[in-house]
């Protein structure tokens, strides 16, 4: 039931090597495609059947995204992998790069073939030096084995991959900011339309997928879309990597089926530490709304259930907070993060994130004003939906959800100039 | 066309047009800061958010393409809420220092805050303060006011082609700046003043001097280059306080060169001549107009009486009005002399008969945007006609292949698809090679006399590439620039460039020097043609003839020959030796006091009415908008009275319009043409030993006004004159380590700082004209160079 | 314009930059600017001078301001001198929940400097960074290319003792 997809090499001695990957059936799909020239449409159909949804946080169906790519347009097209993992609470892609890099190589190669792109770039965040080296070694191993390059295995198919290293900017996880960064510019998101599928890297058709999404593809095609779908639940196919962090006994990355009850995931992670009680959970990374324990305990870990609970599955980054947590302090830290990471392009985000961060900071430090809470919610709403990219929304949602569920704690800070917990 | 609905009103729109453009055309105002119709879309200020049917979030009108049936509300509660929300964010860190801000009264932020802002701020945190860098003498910065619209950055990147301003930093720390302390070097930098929607970038010379509501805008035309950029002169009382572009899509669009914008600072220069003066017994006396004009007329008449009318000559500056040119030649011809010229920078006038009615661009300025290929010959277009370069850059961004045959590898703001950088003496060979290549491509027989010229000329791949690019282009042009005008074999270069154009099917054009060459030609300010292009009854002397022959009497109009003439030393000597020199001049210099006998103060362009004819042949009239200082009078009025006092008929004008009407009637049959009838140039002279002088007029040395604009003179483009040569030449001449060099040309010597510059070809030294330091040099093709001290 | 001196980039740096340039289409050398700045920073004791950025601009055919924009946008570039060991401590949510405040406190005491400062002997710079993406092993810090995870005061002491 676990480690069936992205972590399928994890039990091996040196899971990142080509031999290890081959031993679990790695590259069999790619070799089959090279030999049989599988119809790209059938690959896309299989992905659609699998109900694989974008694992970077947005949850857009991967098969549908691939189908937008104008495969028959002349000229260079690109496949870009987004390994700019930076959403607080998220560290799953790092482990794919470190422990199963070949599966990502294979996933990117299949994507390139399917969408008629002969070149792929993997954008890895600059801090990830060890994962970069592992992935780079995998590329070189794959090239040496004749699995990448020109006219691969005499198939007439070309595909190669290079790494682009970031240099410290959360916003580059946004796909168009990532493209700008790949072009050697500031990582400022582009407005859409046009979408990358028509105007992407260097103005060419480009598809950008998350690391986990691409790494899932070889396994889906090996076992079939239906198999993957049935690992999870309808519309929420497959397994998912959950990074469980915070106040648990065994924080870690867990690959489990979609639809697993949150309570079970918490148990896998050893339960809340120190025998404390669960207070709150951020289920999908810092940008997703916080949920109080009683709501979280009733949900299952899939897009639909978490959405119904009032939050989002996001990148599957489960941040667990126990009863001793000061929610004002946590929000102050998160608001500071979005303030630090706003690219500065759009007015509401550039100006608003600083405003939010300063207000929450004041409240935390006993300088809150009575009108601050309403103003915080209003200012957050004024950012939300008014910016080019989703960073503005991401900055707004924690503010709104923290105040919605824990308003009394904030009010206490304002009234008593100290924390109630 | 698609039909959309804005605020319930059906509007026709081009499919794919952005909503904001469509609304603008329909007269529906949507607030905006970052959007500008001439710049790429940033969609970042978010001020133009509007409500669109079936879309949950408000959409930016600047980045939302229209589609059939789209329903848009720009003033619905949802749209207004979005706009107000954005406005609040824009204001929280804005200093609101409107009372001390030069933008106050014409500030987009101020205006929109009136419409969308709150009366009380809800922001109780500390406001952001941003350091304001010194970016040079033209643009003042107050970056705390900046709202990060990035118009200025996009202007540099997209329009001017010089990326100097950027937006370093991230998030709230992002700021507009240069990162390192530096002056803007672009010749178009002043446009960011207009583009800035707030008071972050304002005019430095104008700073704190007026409020917009005190100013009255007058339409005018720039006299500094052949584009004839349209201006608004903002006047308070009798003073021009600043200059802004007057939008004209066919000419300058919404832009101005810095030269057009900041030359007004020379209006009040201390060298302004404010009252008529006459020299009596070697001493200057200020006199009334009547005395001065009588003395002038008498001086001219005595030359005629003591010698002959043909001992009179007239030298005119490029920037005079067409009316002034016309009256000047009418005066001279009335007195019986055809000795009149304005082409004081042209050394070789041998093809003057072949030139059509006036030097023409061969197309409209706006046509340049759509060129697919162009060959520039002897042109530093970026600094000679900055707004032409801007259009060429636009063409290049659209894929045009621009090419150049030049004596210096000039820094253009567009990429060159091919280039030949050669000794000026070898430029004709380059054109011959291109023409030869075209003849081969066409399978055409060479025109008469060409074969002899082409003997021994080597055709290189680069020449073939140029030929093919021109020939393959649907819209192509060959354009000669000012370096050709200054060239000792101008005639040959014009003939050969025109041949290249004809053989490739390209339009041929001349980017004429100065502001009103076209007007001067049409008005008859040339010795061989009268107004309207009619041949003179007998050919008069051109300026070289007038200077080398040493006439007895001269009328000098709006020109400082010691600097403005390409052989300033010779011109000055000839004037000094004359019996009578009457100078109609806005400024007085020591040189002028030395050679002139009568000084008549005339108006500069903001102070007089008149007409400029631009390089397209467009007649652009303008009115005077300020009273001239002191006793200064418009040049046309001075010439009119002078005509009366010389007892000539036909000088009874009451208004400059009457002068223009008379000239226009004379020009009624003139059709613009750039066709030169082929006549093989005489065998090209072989180059002597020594260094060739590459000569040009630096952008801020082209006329008396720009030379006296203090702000322009403090920019990086201003120069007091340096000698440039490449390192190999410097070594060959033993000056590699010299800080200064002694340059001798035609017997004149000067000492100039040496700059090593690899853009200068072998065998050449680049020494500019129009600057005092090199004014004593002559016109020989080669010069000598040694280390100084 | 002052001529940028590409010789400021060591031959080894230029060779390494070339390997990155080779990853992109020939007319897209600008894509290598991030790598080039990292390499330039590494050869210069961990920070970028304006002259080095100008050299990168000249080497890649970019305008200097475009390079400055990149260098000031990404947090891993240093535009002021830093200590020989730059200690990047994550204080974001998962690390906060697992005691990053104690990590910072311990480091500040041990090194005698505050966040954002460099020790007088130039050995250490202490820098607060945003999420390093190793949340399940919080609290986390990065020194040079190496991650240090599940930090405790004892572990921090051992790490610092092990730095040269």
Residues of chain A contacting residue B157, judged by C-beta atoms under 8 Å apart: none
* Neighboring chain C residues of A170 at a CB cutoff of 8 Å: 130-131
Write out B47-76 in H/E/C secondary structure: CCEEEECCCCCCEEHHHCECCCCCEEECCC
Strands A300-301 and A260-261: antiparallel
B82, B85, B174 member nearest A350 (Cβ): B174
Using the Cβ of A170 and the Cβ atoms of chain B, whether some distance falls under 8 Å is answered with: no
User: Is this complex's ipTM strictly greater than 0.85?
Assistant: yes
Q: Do B147 and A347 touch (CB under 8 A)?
A: yes
Average pLDDT over residues B594-622: 98
Residue in the structure block whose two tokens are 């409107």: B98
pLDDT, tens digit, for every residue of A118-154?
999 999 999 999 999 999 999 999 999 999 999 999 9
CA gap A209, A332 in Å, rounded:
31
Confidence of residue B789 (pLDDT cuts 50, 70, 90): confident
Q: How many CA atoms lie within 13 A of B535 on its CB side?
A: 6
Burial class (CB in 10 A: 0-12, 13-18, 19+), C99: middle
- Report the C-alpha gap between B98 and B102 in whole angstroms: 8
pLDDT for position A173:
97
Percent of all residues in chain A with a pLDDT value above 90, rounded to a whole number = 96
- Band the pLDDT of C164: cuts 50, 70, 90: confident
3-state secondary structure of B742: strand
Residue B403, both tokens: 């090419």
Contact present, B478 and B470 (Cβ < 8 Å): yes
pLDDT per residue as tens digits for the range B309-346: 999 999 999 999 999 999 999 999 999 999 999 999 99
pLDDT band at B467 (very low <50, low <70, confident <90, very high): very high
Q: Is pLDDT of B685 > 90?
A: no
**pLDDT value at A2 more than 80:** no
Confidence band of B780 (pLDDT split at 50, 70, 90): confident
Q: How far is CA B222 from CA B71, B243, B248, B623, B657, in A?
A: 45, 10, 13, 12, 19
**Does B63 contact A191 at a Cβ distance shorter than 8 Å?**
yes
**Mean pLDDT confidence for B416-443:** 97
For residues A38-67, give the mean pLDDT: 96
A281 neighbors A242 (Cβ within 8 angstroms)? no
- Residue of C69, C74, C130 best to disrupt the B interface, most CBs of B under 10 A: C69
C122: left (phi over 0), alpha (psi -120 to 50) or beta: left
The answer to whether residue B379 scores a pLDDT higher than 80 is yes
Cα angle value C4/C5/C9 (rounded, 5°): 125
Least confident of A291-295, A330-334, A370-374, B682-686: B682-686
Cβ neighbourhood burial of A370 (10 Å; 0-12, 13-18, 19+): exposed
pLDDT tens digits for A156-191? 999 999 999 999 999 999 999 999 999 999 999 999
Percentages helix, strand, coil for chain A (3-state, rounded to 5) are 50, 15, 40
CA nearest A259: which of A234, A294, A289? A234
Whether C32 sits inside 8 A of A184 (CB atoms) is: yes
Which stretches does DSSP call E strand in B380-432? 401-406, 418-421
Q: Is B587 helix (H, G, I), strand (E, B) or coil?
A: strand
Report the candidate in B423, B656, B389 with the shortest Cα–Cα distance to residue B519. B656
Average per-residue pLDDT for chain B: 96
Residue C134 to residue A317, Cβ atoms within 8 A = no
The mean per-residue pLDDT over the stretch A296-309 comes to: 96
Please write the tens of the pLDDT for every residue from B737-763. 999 999 999 989 999 999 999 999 999
Instruction: Give the pLDDT band of residue B258 (cuts 50, 70, 90).
Output: very high
Give the pLDDT of residue B592: 97
pLDDT band at C2 (very low <50, low <70, confident <90, very high): very low
- CB contact under 8 Å between A186 and B167, yes or no, is yes
Phi, psi torsion values for B42, nearest 5 degrees: -100, -35
Lookup result for tokens 């608004």: B232
Q: What is the mean pLDDT of the segment spanning C146-154?
A: 96
Residue B381 has pLDDT above 50, yes or no: yes
Other C-beta atoms closer than 10 Å to the C-beta of B54 total: 6
Q: Does A130 touch chain C (CB under 8 A)?
A: yes
Rounded CA separation B404/B430 (Å)? 10
pLDDT of residue B683: 74
Cβ neighbours, 10 Å, residue A236: 24
Chains that touch C (3 or more CB pairs under 8 A): A, B
- Assign 3-class secondary structure to B491-558: HHHHHHHHHHHHHHCCEEEECCCCCCHHHHHHHCCECCECHHHCECCCCCCCHHHHHHHCCCEEEEEC
Which residue on chain A is closest to B127 by alpha carbon? A355
Q: Which residue has the tokens 């006299």?
A: B223
**DSSP structure class, residue B266:** G
Tell me if B51 sits within 8 A of B79, measured CB to CB: yes
3-state secondary structure of A207: strand
Contact A162 C23 (CB under 8 A): yes
| Neighboring chain A residues of C146 at a CB cutoff of 8 Å | 129-130
Query: With an 8 Å Cβ cutoff, are B166 and C1 in contact?
Result: no
Task: Tell me: pLDDT of A1 over 70.
Answer: no
Nearest to A89 among C29, C34, C93 (CB): C93
Which site among A245, A273, A290 would you substitute to test the C interface, given the most C Cβ atoms closer than 10 Å to its Cβ? Answer: A245
Average pLDDT of the segment spanning B690-695: 92
> Whole-model pTM?
0.95
Does A211 have pLDDT greater than 50? yes
Predicted confidence band of residue A3 (pLDDT cuts 50, 70, 90): confident
Q: Measured between alpha carbons, how far is B448 from B445 in angstroms, rounded to an integer?
A: 9
Q: Tell me: the pLDDT tens digits for B204-213?
A: 999 999 999 9
Angle, CA of A299, A331 and A243, to the nearest 5°: 45
A356-400 pLDDT, tens digit per residue, is 999 999 999 999 999 999 999 999 999 999 999 999 999 999 999
For B158-199, what is each residue's pLDDT tens digit? 999 999 999 999 999 999 999 998 899 999 999 999 999 999
For the segment C68-87, the average pLDDT, to the nearest whole number, is 97
The pLDDT of residue B525 is above 60: yes
Q: What was the pLDDT predicted at C3?
A: 61
* A357 in C contact zone (CB under 8 Å): no
């Amino acid at each position: 039931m676990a480690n069936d997809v992205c972590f399928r090499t994890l039990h091996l001695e040196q899971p990142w090597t080509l031999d290890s990957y081959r031993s679990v059936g790695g590259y069999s799909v790619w070799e089959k495609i090279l030999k049989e020239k599988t119809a790209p449409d059938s690959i896309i159909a299989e992905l659609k059947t699998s109900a694989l949804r974008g694992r970077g946080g947005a949850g857009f169906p991967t098969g549908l995204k691939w189908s937008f790519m104008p495969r028959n347009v002349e000229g260079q097209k690109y496949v870009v992998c987004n390994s700019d993992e930076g959403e607080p609470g998220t560290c799953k892609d790092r482990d794919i790069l470190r422990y199963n890099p070949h599966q990502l190589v294979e996933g990117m190669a299949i994507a390139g073939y399917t969408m008629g792109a002969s070149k792929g770039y993997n954008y890895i965040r600059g801090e990830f030096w060890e994962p970069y080296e592992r992935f780079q070694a995998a590329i070189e191993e794959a090239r040496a084995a004749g699995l990448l390059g020109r006219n691969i295995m005499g198939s007439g198919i070309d595909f190669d991959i290079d790494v682009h290293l970031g240099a410290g900017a959360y916003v580059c996880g946004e796909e168009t900011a990532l493209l700008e960064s790949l072009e050697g510019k500031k990582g400022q998101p582009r407005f859409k339309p046009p979408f990358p599928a028509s105007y992407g890297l260097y103005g060419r058709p480009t598809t950008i997928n998350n690391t986990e999404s691409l790494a899932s593809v070889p396994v889906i095609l090996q076992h079939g879309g239906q198999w993957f779908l049935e690992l999870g639940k309808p519309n929420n196919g497959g397994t998912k990597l959950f990074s469980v962090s915070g106040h648990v006994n065994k924080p870690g990355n867990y690959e489990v089926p979609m639809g697993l009850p949150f309570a079970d995931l918490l148990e896998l992670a050893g339960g809340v530490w120190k025998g404390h009680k669960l207070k709150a959970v951020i289920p999908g990374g810092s940008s997703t709304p916080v949920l109080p324990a009683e709501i979280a305990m009733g949900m299952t870990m899939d897009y639909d259930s978490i959405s119904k609970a009032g939050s989002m599955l996001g990148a599957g980054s489960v941040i667990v907070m126990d009863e001793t947590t000061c929610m004002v302090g946590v929000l102050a830290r998160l608001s500071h993060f979005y303030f630090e990471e706003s690219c500065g392009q759009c007015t509401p985000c550039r100006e608003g994130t600083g405003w939010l961060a300063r207000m929450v900071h004041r409240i935390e430090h006993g300088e809150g004003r009575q009108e601050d809470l309403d103003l915080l919610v209003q200012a957050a709403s004024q950012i939300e939906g008014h910016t080019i990219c989703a960073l503005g929304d991401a900055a707004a949602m924690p503010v709104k959800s923290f105040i919605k569920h824990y308003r009394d704690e904030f009010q206490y800070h304002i009234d008593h100039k100290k924390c109630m917990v | 066309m698609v039909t959309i609905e804005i605020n319930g009103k059906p509007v026709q729109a081009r499919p794919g047009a952005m909503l904001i453009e469509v609304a603008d055309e329909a007269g529906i105002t949507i607030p905006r800061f970052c959007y500008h119709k001439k710049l790429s879309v940033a969609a970042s200020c978010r001020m133009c958010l509007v409500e669109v049917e079936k879309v949950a979030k408000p959409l930016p009108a600047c980045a939302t393409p229209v589609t059939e049936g789209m329903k848009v509300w720009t003033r619905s509660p949802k749209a207004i809420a979005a706009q107000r929300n954005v406005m609040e964010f824009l204001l929280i860190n804005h200093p609101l220092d409107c009372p001390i801000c030069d933008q106050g009264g014409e500030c987009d932020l101020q205006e929109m805050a009136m419409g969308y802002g709150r009366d009380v701020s809800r922001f109780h945190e500390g406001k952001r303060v941003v350091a304001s860098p010194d970016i040079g003498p033209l643009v003042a910065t107050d970056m705390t006011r900046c709202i990060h619209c990035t118009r200025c950055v996009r202007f540099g990147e997209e329009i001017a082609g010089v990326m100097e301003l950027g937006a370093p930093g991230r998030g709230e720390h992002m700021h507009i700046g240069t990162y390192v302390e530096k002056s803007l070097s672009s010749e178009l930098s002043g446009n960011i003043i207009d583009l800035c929607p707030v008071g972050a970038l304002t005019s430095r010379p104008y700073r704190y001097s007026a409020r917009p509501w005190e100013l009255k805008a007058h339409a005018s035309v720039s006299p500094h280059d052949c584009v004839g950029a349209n201006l608004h002169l903002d006047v308070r009382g009798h003073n021009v306080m600043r200059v802004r572009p007057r939008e004209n899509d066919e000419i300058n669009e919404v832009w101005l060169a810095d030269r057009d914008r900041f030359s007004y600072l020379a209006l009040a220069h201390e060298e302004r001549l404010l009252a008529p003066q006459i020299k009596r017994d070697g001493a200057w006396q200020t006199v009334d107009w009547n005395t001065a004009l009588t003395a002038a007329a008498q001086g001219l008449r005595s030359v005629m009486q003591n010698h002959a009318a043909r001992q009179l000559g007239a030298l005119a500056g490029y920037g005079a009005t067409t009316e002034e040119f016309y009256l000047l030649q009418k005066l001279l011809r009335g007195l019986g002399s055809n000795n009149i010229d304005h082409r004081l920078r042209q050394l070789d006038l041998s093809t003057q008969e072949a030139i059509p009615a006036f030097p023409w661009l061969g197309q409209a300025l706006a046509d340049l945007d759509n060129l697919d290929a162009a060959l520039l010959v002897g042109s530093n277009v970026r600094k000679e006609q900055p707004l032409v370069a801007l259009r060429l850059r636009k063409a290049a961004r659209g894929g045009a292949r621009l090419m150049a045959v030049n004596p210096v590898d000039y820094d253009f703001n567009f990429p060159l698809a091919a280039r030949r950088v050669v000794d000026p003496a070898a430029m004709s060979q380059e054109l011959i090679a291109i023409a030869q290549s075209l003849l081969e491509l066409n399978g055409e027989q060479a025109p008469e006399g060409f074969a002899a010229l082409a003997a021994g000329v080597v055709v290189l791949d680069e020449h073939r590439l140029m030929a093919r690019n021109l020939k393959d282009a649907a819209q192509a042009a060959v354009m000669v620039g000012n370096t050709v005008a200054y060239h000792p074999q101008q005639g040959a270069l014009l003939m050969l460039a025109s041949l290249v154009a004809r053989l490739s099917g390209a339009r041929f054009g001349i980017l004429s020097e100065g502001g009103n060459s076209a007007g001067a030609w049409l008005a008859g300010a040339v010795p061989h043609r009268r107004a309207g292009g009619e041949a003179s009854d007998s050919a008069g002397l051109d300026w070289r003839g007038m200077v080398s022959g040493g006439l007895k009497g001269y009328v000098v109009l709006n020109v400082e020959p010691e600097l403005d003439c390409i052989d300033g030393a010779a011109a000055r000597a000839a004037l000094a030796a004359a019996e009578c020199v009457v100078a109609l001049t806005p400024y007085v210099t020591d040189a002028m006091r030395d050679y002139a006998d009568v000084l008549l103060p005339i108006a500069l362009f903001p102070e007089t009415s008149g007409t400029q004819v631009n390089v397209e042949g467009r007649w652009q009239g303008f009115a005077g908008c300020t009273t001239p200082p002191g006793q200064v009078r418009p040049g046309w009025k001075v010439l009119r009275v002078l005509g009366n006092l010389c007892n000539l008929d036909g000088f009874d004008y009451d208004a400059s319009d009457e002068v223009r009407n008379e000239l226009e009637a004379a020009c009624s049959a003139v059709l613009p043409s750039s066709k030169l009838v082929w006549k093989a140039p005489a065998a090209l002279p072989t180059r002597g030993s020594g260094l060739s002088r590459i000569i040009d007029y630096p952008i801020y040395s082209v006329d008396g006004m720009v030379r006296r604009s203090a702000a322009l003179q403090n920019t990086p483009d201003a120069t007091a004159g340096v000698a440039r040569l490449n390192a190999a030449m410097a070594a060959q001449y033993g000056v590699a380590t010299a800080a200064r060099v002694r340059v001798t040309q035609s017997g004149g010597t000067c000492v100039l700082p040496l700059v090593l510059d690899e853009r200068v070809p072998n065998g050449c030294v680049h020494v500019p004209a129009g600057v005092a330091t090199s004014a004593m040099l002559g016109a020989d093709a080669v010069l000598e160079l040694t280390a100084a001290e | 314009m002052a001529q940028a001196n590409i010789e400021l980039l060591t031959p080894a740096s230029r060779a390494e930059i070339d390997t990155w340039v080779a990853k992109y289409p020939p007319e897209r050398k600008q894509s290598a600017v991030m790598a080039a700045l990292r390499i330039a920073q590494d050869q210069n004791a961990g920070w970028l001078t304006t002259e080095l950025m100008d050299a990168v601009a000249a080497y890649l055919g970019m305008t200097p301001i475009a390079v400055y924009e990149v260098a000031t946008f990404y947090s891993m570039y240093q535009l002021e001198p830093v200590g020989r060991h730059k200690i990047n401590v994550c204080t974001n949510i998962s690390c906060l929940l697992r005691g990053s405040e104690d990590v910072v406190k311990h480091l500040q005491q041990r090194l005698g400097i505050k966040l954002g400062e460099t020790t007088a002997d130039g050995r250490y710079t202490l820098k607060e960074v945003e999420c390093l993406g190793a949340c399940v092993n919080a609290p986390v810090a990065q020194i040079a290319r190496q991650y240090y995870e599940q930090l405790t005061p004892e572990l921090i002491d051992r790490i610092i003792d092990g730095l040269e």
